[in-house]
Structure 1
Amino acid sequence: MPQPVKRLRVLMMVLGGMQAVLGLALLTNSVAFATAIWGEGDVSTPCCTTPGEAHSGIIVFAGVLVLAVAAWGITTALKFPTRHPNLRVSAFAYGWTALPFTLAFFEVVPILGVIWLVPAILAIVRPNQPESRAWFGHQPL
């Protein structure tokens, strides 16, 4: 496996791992996230649920979606040694999917959003390098 492909593989695993941590945080703290977004409620709130509790299902759905994207990136990276041509396309698409997470991270911690932007862009660029194209196209290097 050429060096640029190894770097792309590690990069995708790191991005997937960070997304998995974010997804687990969303799943385990869904009420806290929903309360931070929709608020506590006031006297007009029904007796049994606050807006945060009522909207926590949306946060759980977002957490499951983030975990699915993380699993996609990690699975694609783990299959790189098979050299299947569609894996390069999957890695490229995963890079484009990782890019919007920059906005989510930027809203939470701005410096984290800037730090996330660089690997996300690299995940878009690296599958199109000549070494990556040759590796996944089964061409001799």
Structure 2
Amino acid sequence: NIIDGIMVEDRVVQMYGRRFPCLDTGFAPNEAVDVVIRPEDIDIVPVEQGQITGTVTSVTFKGMQYDIIVDFRGFKWLIQTTDHSPVGARIGIKIDPDGIHVMKKSAYSGQFGDYSSFSDEYEELDNASPDGEEEGAGHEA
């Protein structure tokens, strides 16, 4: 998950108009930055405990963990967790300061907007036909 942010001051970054404590220092006050948050560093908490809230749009069990997609204002957060949350659930998201990594803007920043490691592959898998054939695939005689 890569999000546009503002490094307000040492150890404080702003995303989506909200301030988050972080461990990073050495940026100019109010410098535009890229905020990188690994899917496994995001905790699902009750809505009232969340730093932000969102709606679960997809849940995929991966054997030892769930890949959960959470929509927050159009951004699709990928969360990897051992805790299950059903599709449609409203959840809180909490990120500890050591899970937030602030980076200088790259030459490519802003070209693609915020980026989540979520991919359309999940939607393609959800929409796959039950017999394993691709939609629209014809049969050869």
TM-score by length of 2: 0.24
- Which structure has greater helix proportion? 1
- Which structure has greater strand proportion? 2
Higher relative contact order (CA 8 A, sep 6+): 1
Q: Which has the larger radius of gyration?
A: 1
TM-score by length of 1: 0.24
